[in-house]
Amino acid sequence: MYNTILFDLDGTLTDPGTGITNSVLYALKKFGIEVSDRSELFKFIGPPLMDAFSEYYGFSKEQSEKALMYYREYFSDKGIFENALYDGTKYMLNEIKSKGKNIILATSKPEEFAIRILKYFEIFDYFDFVAGASMDETRNQKEDVIKYALDGFGITDTSKVLMVGDRKHDVLGAKKFSIDSAGVLYGYGSEDELTNAGATYIVKKIEDILKLV
């Protein structure tokens, strides 16, 4: 049985689709790029943003750094709150906490943004530790964030840890530390993506997470 649950944020606890895509649209417009179908930008939800700008738009490192700066220009003021808590998130966190489990956030979103979001939705107090990316991008890969969470909370036995997330990055990051993972289908990753990455469990609805803990 798991005694510590690591949660991704975007696409797992909250639906950040509007804020993230608006921020990406804002950044791309600075480069003269217009995107007519917002859903094309959903792929930006999950992976480190500099990697996404590089992979999806062929940006150089310098261009990606500029794009990230523009992204944060919009996100830090408006995009961060163009966000919604998934129905059942508070209930699920409360139930896990009532079982005496440790709850840790492990997100590739910069830590200071993640903390603001948790406080905005009044779920910050459910978390025993918050691990996010660093603003200078030196800690932005999911495996780096997970290591930071494990070290920061003093976890050495990963057999009792479960990572919950909606993208392959969550699953692959967890595997680096022999951590079981639950891939959720209500977020932004597909069943194929999560299965192919090697998710231990596939979860359709947020309340189903409670069956695993």
Catalytic residues: 8
Instruction: Provide the b/e sequence for 187-201 (b: ≥16 CB within 10 Å).
Output: bbbeeebbeebebeb
Instruction: Provide the b/e sequence for 12-31 (b: ≥16 CB within 10 Å).
Output: bbbbbbebbbbbbbbbbeee
The rounded distance, in Å, linking the Cα atoms of 187 and 167 is 8
The rounded distance, in Å, linking the Cα atoms of 141 and 170 is 10
